[in-house]
Amino acid sequence: DVLAHRLSLLSLHAGALELRPDAAPEEVARAAGVIRDSAYRALEDLREVIGMLRAGLDRSEEGPERPQPTLADLPDLVDQSRRAGMRVLLDCRVGEPAAAPAAIGRGAYRIVQEGLTNARKHGRDGQVSVAVGGAAGEGLTVEVRNPAGATAVAGIPGGGSGLIGLAERAGLAGGRLEYGPTAAGEFRLWAWLPWPR
């Protein structure tokens, strides 16, 4: 899921540069910066996956594991998408995001990440809204909405597998995940994750 998110950013910006060779130098520089950053992060993610797949490897010889994302990292994730040219509105109604349990925060982060990736790949141009709310004892809700679209960005495979993985992740955590088109012409990704007291 994480690698797909990074690669979709690369594809989006590379495609924009290809379609707009006459873009202003500052736009080209900004897009190139996002491509460079996304490629670097994608390589880090790929190294991590390959490291986990190696059988018999002594984990003590590797460097320390990178910290996993938390609920407090959502603003940075949204900023990455904004730098990629998306219009994203974040409404986080969690008193202290850093206080959320690590597993809950990581799950919410991955749900928002997948929602943003899907909006970029499949949605029409328009604002994406991300709403996160909850507290200990209530649970945590995550909702990502964007104008529904019928076409995907050419050359980006993997349709649907990210949502299936998220549903499995939410179920294993004791939560639930729903997704699909709405009567208002949007695509809605919604999840509830348990947050014990």
Q: What average pLDDT does range 159-179 have in this prediction?
A: 85
What digits encode the pLDDT tens for the residues 21-72?
788 888 888 877 778 777 777 777 777 767 666 645 555 555 556 678 999 9
Euclidean distance between CA atoms 32 and 195, whole angstroms: 40
CA nearest neighbour of 119 among 91, 90, 81: 81
The reported pTM is 0.69
pLDDT of residue 85: 83
Q: Quickly list DSSP for 137-183.
A: TTEEEEEEEEE--S-PPTT---TTHHHHHHHHHHHHTT-EEEEEE-T
Euclidean distance between CA atoms 123 and 187, whole angstroms: 8
Q: What is the CATH number of domain 2-193?
A: 3.30.565.10
CA nearest neighbour of 85 among 129, 29, 148, 31: 31
CA nearest neighbour of 83 among 7, 3, 6, 9: 9
| CA distances, 57 to each of 48, 49, 93, 143 (Å) | 13, 13, 42, 39
* Structure tokens given for 74: 């959502």
What digits encode the pLDDT tens for the residues 81-137?
898 888 999 999 998 999 899 889 999 999 999 999 888 888 777 899 999 999 999
- pLDDT(164) > 60: yes
